[in-house]
Amino acid sequence: MSITTPQQYKEALRQLDVLMMSNVADDQEKAGEIIQLTSAIETYEERLHLMLLPALPNTLVDMIELKRQQLRLKQKDLAQLLEVPAGRLSQILSGKRRITLDLAKKLYERLGISPEFILKKA
């Protein structure tokens, strides 16, 4: 059994509910149906969950941009939060300037970007 649409998913949940409410203790056929439905539902939910997950940033600049958007900050406000001039932040985000150790610490402390990510991607 395979579930591919939201309608099939809803129907499978309804069928599972009906089967669970019935007495399946002595009925091997119903128990097999429950196992099949449960497996199909779990597979559909896993695929749906993977489709809805946003792709994680691959670069430090992308991670900074993601955090800026999550905090709903303008680039100017982000520069103030990180205590760097707006022009310097612009250069960093465009790849024209490298990140300093001081800025890396602020990215960790104020934006919550993991030190491992900063070290790997800087």
Q: How is the chain split among helix, strand and coil, in percent rounded to 5?
A: 70, 0, 30
Confidence at residue 50, expressed as pLDDT on a 0 to 100 scale? 72
Could you give the percent of the chain with pLDDT greater than 90?
66
Task: Give the count of beta carbons closer than 10 Å to the beta carbon of residue 17.
Answer: 10
For 32-79, write each residue's pLDDT tens digit. Answer: 888 899 999 999 888 887 777 677 899 999 999 999 999 999 999 999
